[in-house]
Structures are given as structure tokens and as C-alpha cells.
Amino acid sequence: MWKGLPEPYTKRTVEGDLGVRHGVAYLVEMAGVEWLAATAGLSEEAVRRGVAARTNNAAFLPDDASGRRLDDGLARAAAAIALRRHAGTITTQYAPFGKLLTQKGKDLTAISRLLVTGGPVIGALNAAALINGALSDIEDPAVLSPRNVAVIVDRHYILSAVGLLARVDPMAALQLFNNTFSVSGKDS
């Protein structure tokens, strides 16, 4: 049984509250200092210091490997939260005639490619591993998130240009897209 209006098949979203600078306090609250420390391979105190350095400092750039690992951990947490938000869910309800599965939202389990962009992702040590890690962090089988995807990284912010170009010359936009993005299953 479907619940709610069906969502469009394709859409672009921006998760404004999930920033690794302005939204860092929210990310820490959602992910937890302990999880970030384990994910980044840092002490909890190092995470707290790193978060303090990033809070209200959008221009902050890490200058060492531990800082980059913390950024990757924050980006992974943000990606997992965003994926949970966008994926639908399946719930079990019991009726007089038996068990009824109800889907709310979009089933993303069959998605084969995930195109990602944004500063923390394109600056990640390994963007594909970061996104695949975020997907594996979604442990709830009721969340209909992608299961096995090729991660495509828009490292040069070409996607926005493709979208604009598509309005005036769809074929040129498609050619630009195909020439820019590879679909190898690896960090593109």
C-alpha cells in the first residue's frame, strides 16, 4: 500500500541544514562525538577541538590529515542524514486479513548511480568510499535507500551548467554530461 503523494522520479535537492561548517553543531548532535571519533580515527577530544574550530567559521580548511578525516566524517554523517531524508520507508501494519506493508516516500533501492557534489564531498579523501560508508550507516532495513550504487562525483560543479544548457540545447547538455561524468563505480 502506498501512503502519501508519489514523489517525482527525478529531483534536485539541497540540504541547507547539513553543512559541515554552519551546520556542524547539528551534525555532531545527530551523529554523536563518539561516532565521529570512531569514523575519523580520532579521540573524542580531538573531535571536540575540530568541531570548535569549524563552528561559525565557513572559511576553515583543515591543514593536516586528522582535520581532513574529521571533515570526511562530518560529510559522511551529512550524507547519511540526507539519504535517510530522501529515501522512503516500509512499515508493517497488521490488519484483520494479515500483515500489510505500507510504503511512504520514494523507493531508492534500485538506484544504480548516485551523482554527488558539494565542497565536503569533492574535497573528500575518497568521495566514493565516503558515500558508500554513508549508505552502510543506514542500518534500518525499513529505509528504502540505494543498496548498490556507482558514485559519480561532480568535482568541477558541471552539473549546474548542464542544467542551464539543457534549457536551450538539450543535446549539447547531454553530450557535456556524458563527456564529463564516467560511471565506473569508482570515485569519478
pLDDT of res. 75: 93
Distance between CA 120 and CA 72 in Å, rounded?
A: 7
For residues 146-170, one letter each, b for 16 or more C-beta atoms within 10 angstroms of the residue's C-beta and e for the rest, the string is beebbbbbbbeebbeebeebeeeee
pLDDT of res. 6: 63
pLDDT of res. 172: 96
pLDDT of res. 52: 95
pLDDT of res. 12: 54
pLDDT of res. 117: 86
Note the helical H segments in 87-157. Answer: 119-122, 127-137
Distance between CA 76 and CA 135 in Å, rounded?
A: 9
pLDDT of res. 122: 85
Edge-to-edge strand list for the sheet holding 2-3:
2-3, 98-104, 89-95
pLDDT of res. 185: 43
pLDDT of res. 23: 87
Domain boundaries, the chain: 2-180
pLDDT string in tens for the chain (188-residue length): 666 666 565 555 556 678 888 889 999 999 999 999 999 999 999 999 999 999 989 899 999 999 999 999 999 999 999 888 889 999 998 989 999 999 988 899 999 999 988 888 888 889 999 999 999 988 888 999 998 889 988 988 899 999 999 999 999 999 999 889 865 444 44
